[in-house]
Amino acid sequence: MSGRPVKKLVSRCPFCEGNLEISRLGCCHCATSIETIQPIPAFFRLPADLQAFVMIFLRCQGKIRDMEKELGISYPTVIKRLELVNVLLGNQAPPPGRKDVLEQLERGEITVQEATQLLKTS
């Protein structure tokens, strides 16, 4: 690693909270520029902690028990976070209601950031 801080890809407008799109690509070598309209991939719209969680999941080859050990969290917590990732990526039914989210937060099954994201999407 280079030691530089990792920058998060911004996916929401800082003024109106609308979705941002990728509109320009540029070559670092020859300065070629391409103008386009492309949505930001769903993975990059996940909160940073869930992006890291998915990367660990892939490194563990989807083995929940390995995830438990690496993250120091319980099996149900791993499952809840996987469900949250699937919901936020649009691969699963809509998120639970406000009461369910708050109960999961209280039990420590999800983080404050994850709860906030779920409440925004419900």
Do the bridges between strand 33-39 and strand 21-26 make them parallel or antiparallel, or are there none, so unpaired? antiparallel
> What phi, psi does 105 have (nearest 5°)?
-65, -45
- Report the sign of the C-alpha dihedral through residues 6, 11, 15, 17, in that order: negative
Distance, in Å, from the CA atom of 16 to the CA atom of 19, rounded to the nearest integer, reads 9
The DSSP secondary-structure symbol of 62 reads: T
Kindly give, in sequence order, each residue whose CB lies less than 8 Å from that of residue 90, ignoring residues fewer than 6 positions away: 42
Calculate mean pLDDT across residues 3-30.
83
Record the tokens describing residue 51, joined without a space: 């992006």
Structure tokens at 62: 């989807």
Region 77-85: mean pLDDT is 91
The three-point CA angle 82-99-50 to 5° equals 25
**For 19-49, how does the pLDDT look when each residue is reduced to its tens digit (9 = 90+)?**
889 899 899 999 999 999 988 888 988 888 9
Alpha-carbon distance 118 to 122, whole Å? 6
On whether the pTM is more than 0.85, the answer is: no
